[in-house]
Amino acid sequence: MGRRRLSGGAEIKVLTLFVLTVMLFFASRVHAAEAVPQRTYLVHVKTLLNGDTGRTVLVPQVIAGALKKGHKVVVLFDAEGVRSLKMGRWFGGHSTPIDRVEITAQERQHLAVLLETTPEGIPDIYGSLLHFLKGRGVSFFVNKQALSLRGIDDEHFDHVAEAVGEERIAELLASAGTYVSY
């Protein structure tokens, strides 16, 4: 039993067809990956995060969970939520209400799992956690008008968040694939 061969021209055509098919397959996979936009997850913080409610714990968990799923995360502080970023107390100072809330050991463990790090890699307070999350790619924004209505000027809020106007807020809301409000 011998091996049957195609004519030289037919073998080249079959080989060329095979190579083109493989190239087309890989090109279509790359194009499909580029065509799917990264989903934006908008967390709209409209209430004060100061440790008096469970929201101070829930918001970072939601952010960390969205990051773990590969989402682009945007956080917008608005309405009463802008007070979470207000610097100072009666006598001034450079801390915010969430700077004064410690993260429990159990919560640090939970966040470490979600963020794929060690508990020692998670900050001790929620104010520092915002800066940590910003380093992980989370974008933070704060409503300029809400700051003004709460008597908070440009120098007296944590600049982890960029102050933005109504047009930018409308863009953030319109571009969100998923919207969560606290």
pLDDT beyond 90 at 38:
no
d(CA 87, CA 157): 5
Rg of the chain, C-alpha, whole Å: 25
Place of tokens 């590969």: 70
pLDDT digit string, tens, across residues 128-140: 999 999 999 999 9
Q: Which of 50, 63, 53, 42 is nearest to 169 (CA)?
A: 42
What is the pTM assigned to this prediction?
0.79
pLDDT at position 93 is: 73
In this predicted structure, what is the pLDDT of residue 88?
84
pLDDT at 10: 55
So what's the pLDDT on residue 8? 56
The tokens describing 119, both together, are: 């508990």
Report the pLDDT value the prediction gives residue 58, as an integer from 0 to 100: 97
Tell me the per-residue pLDDT of 77-112, one tens digit each, with 9 for 90 and over: 999 999 999 998 655 578 999 999 999 999 999 999
Lowest-pLDDT choice from 1-15, 61-75, 152-166: 1-15
- Whole-angstrom distance, CA of residue 144 vs CA of residue 152: 9
Per-residue pLDDT at 64 exceeds 50: yes
Residue reference for tokens 């829930």: 58
Asked if 176 and 40 touch (Cβ cutoff 8 Å), the reply is yes
User: How many other CB atoms are found less than 10 A from the CB of residue 170?
Assistant: 11
Nearest in space to 39 (alpha carbons), one of 74, 13, 82, 8: 74
Of 108, 106, 168, nearest in space to 132 by CA: 108
DSSP symbols for 121-179: GS-SBHHHHHHHHHHTT-EEEEEHHHHHHTT--TTSB-TTSEEE-HHHHHHHHHH-SEE
